[in-house]
Every structure is written in structure tokens, then in C-alpha cells.
Amino acid sequence: MIERTFAMIKPDSVVRGLIGEIIQRLERKGLKIVGMKMIQISEGQADRLYEVHKEKPFFKELVSFIRSAPVVVLAIEGESAVSVMRRIIGATDSKEAMPGTVRGDLSCSKSMNAIHASDSPENAKRELSIFFTESEMLRYSRLDESWVC
């Protein structure tokens, strides 16, 4: 089933010049980027994105980090996009992320872990709505869609 999911290339990846490397990995897997923008996350957006962690002691640090430099937000479509993205990015903790995953190869620590991706279709819908309107997500066909999907 074709799904839409949300991903964000985090500040640590942006300042290290890893945007292209990460996008290349997603596209090589056959995922389609249907929305993309580089932004400086507002405090309100950060609060909404991480609202599930609002009562946790690391919440303020999390918001501070995600606002420390620009990020690239992505709307992504593909066959089972949520689970495919989770496998591509790897475990949250860089020490546990397998080599070959984005985090296994590129992350620095548990907090500076290169990329965020939605963990469920429900969260994907919620997170996409924070950063994109429906009209900002484009419809087009990749030339290789019939081969990779």
C-alpha cells in the first residue's frame, strides 16, 4: 500500500553537509519526495512535534537542539513508506544503529542522530500537518515507479 510519511533532516546533519547524502539514500530505495523545504523550526512547531515528550526532563533540551540550526522537512511517499523509512534510518541511539542505516553511518549520538521519521501512519499524518499544507505536497510519477514499487 502506498503511504505518505514525514521525515526531517536534523540540525546536526544540515550543519555537517549531509542533506544530499540522506536524500540520495531515500530516493535510491524508491521513495518519492512529494514535499521538501528547509526551515528554521519555530518554538510552536517544535512544541507540537515533540508534544509526546512534553512532561519528560529532556523536553527543553530537545526543543533547543531542533531549533539550533535549519532543518529540512520532507513529505515522502512509497510502498509501506513508514516502515521502510524506519528501517532505512535505523535505531534512535547511534550506538545501536546498524551499519548501512542513516543513523548507523552518519549519526553522532542519541540526540544528534541525523534524521527523524514518523513511527506510525497516525503520527505521520499529525507531523506532516505541522509543516505542510495539502497543497504543498505534489503529485507526480517517478520514471522507475513501476519497477521499484
CATH of the domain at 13: 3.30.70.141
Is the separation of the CB atoms in 94 and 113 below 8 Å?
A: yes
Tell me, yes or no, whether 140 lies in a domain.
no
Instruction: List the alpha helices (DSSP H) in the chain.
Output: 11-15, 19-28, 43-49, 59-66, 81-89, 102-106, 121-131, 145-148
Give the model's pLDDT for residue 80: 96
User: 10-46: buried (b, 16+ CB within 10 Å) or exposed (e) per residue?
Assistant: bbbbbeeebbeebbebbeeebbbbbbbeeeebeeebb
Tell me, yes or no, whether 99 lies in a domain.
yes
Give the model's pLDDT for residue 135: 97
Handedness of CA 128, 130, 131, 136 (dihedral sign): positive
Tell me, yes or no, whether 141 lies in a domain.
no
Structure confidence by residue, pLDDT tens digits, 37-86: 999 999 999 999 999 999 999 999 999 999 999 999 999 999 999 999 99
Looking at the structure of the chain, the number of domains it has is 1
Tell me, yes or no, whether 8 lies in a domain.
yes
Tell me, yes or no, whether 90 lies in a domain.
yes
Residue 92 marked ligand-binding: yes
SS3 content of the chain, % helix, strand, coil (to 5): 45, 20, 40
Compute the average pLDDT of residues 88-96. 93
Amino acid type, 79:
E
Tell me, yes or no, whether 149 lies in a domain.
no
Residue 123 marked ligand-binding: no
Q: Assess whether pLDDT exceeds 90 at residue 111.
A: no
Annotation says 116 is catalytic: yes
Tell me, yes or no, whether 89 lies in a domain.
yes
Residue 67: give the domain boundaries. 2-134
Residue 58 marked ligand-binding: yes
Give the model's pLDDT for residue 149: 53
Tell me, yes or no, whether 11 lies in a domain.
yes
Among 116, 118, 128, 132, which one carries the catalytic annotation? 116
Give the model's pLDDT for residue 148: 60
